[in-house]
Structure 1
């Protein structure tokens, strides 16, 4: 069991992902934007961070860069549906910014759980 930080601004997506991750045995800490996520990252032990890219207040690329600077060993997964333009280039930018893994929305539950397990083992 790992403690995962899930940063996602869409309440329905966040609730669905939380349910998937909790069924897989993980503890999920939620945040609805990068600023809140980074604050929670400093307040408690987090084993892995999952962040959306396109969010209000503090977007995912900036969140990844800051989290990587503060916690160099933290496994980070970036997720994105590409926003209104469906531009999936954001995921490549997330990798360049320090994400260890990227996944496009909509996410498949088992693929997500398998990828998280792999990141936690690495």
Structure 2
């Protein structure tokens, strides 16, 4: 099963995203800030970091960069409601996907599915 680490400081959004991904067959661990994600990355295996960009303490870009150092093959998807931040994310982590708010939960699940299509098709996961 594909494991997703979700970092989102908005409680309602975090619960919404977690439920939608779990209903689609993903295992989700959710935290409310980037600094809370680091210990999980050290102790557990994740296939995808799904992170909001604008969060207190540590923003999603810094979290993704730290996570990339810790887990080189970790995939990253940013979610944000700020266009300027989207550009910054693209420059900082060009291999990451960026999903702009507002988005439909179905679109999020489709994007995550696309990220893992090749593994599903080849049976690597």
Q: TM-score of the superposition, structure 1-length normalised?
A: 0.89
Question: Is the 1:52–1:60 Cα contact (8 Å) retained in structure 2?
Answer: yes
1:62-81 equivalence runs, <5 A:
62-81=62-81
Given the alignment of the two structures, is residue 107 of structure 1 paired with residue 95 of structure 2, yes or no?
no
Q: Tell me, which stretches of 5 or more residues in structure 1 are unaligned?
A: 83-87
Q: Tell me, which stretches of 5 or more residues in structure 2 are unaligned?
A: 119-125
CA deviations on 1:63-86 (whole Å, 9 max, x unpaired) are 11111222221110000112xxxx
List, as ranges, runs of 4+ consecutive aligned residues in structure 1 with deviation greater than 6 Å.
none
SS in 2 for 1:63: helix
Structure whose CA Rg is larger: 2
Q: What's the counterpart of residue 84 of structure 2?
A: 89
| Count of aligned positions | 117
Q: What's the counterpart of residue 114 of structure 2?
A: 118
SS in 1 for 2:9: coil
- CA RMSD, aligned part only? 1.3
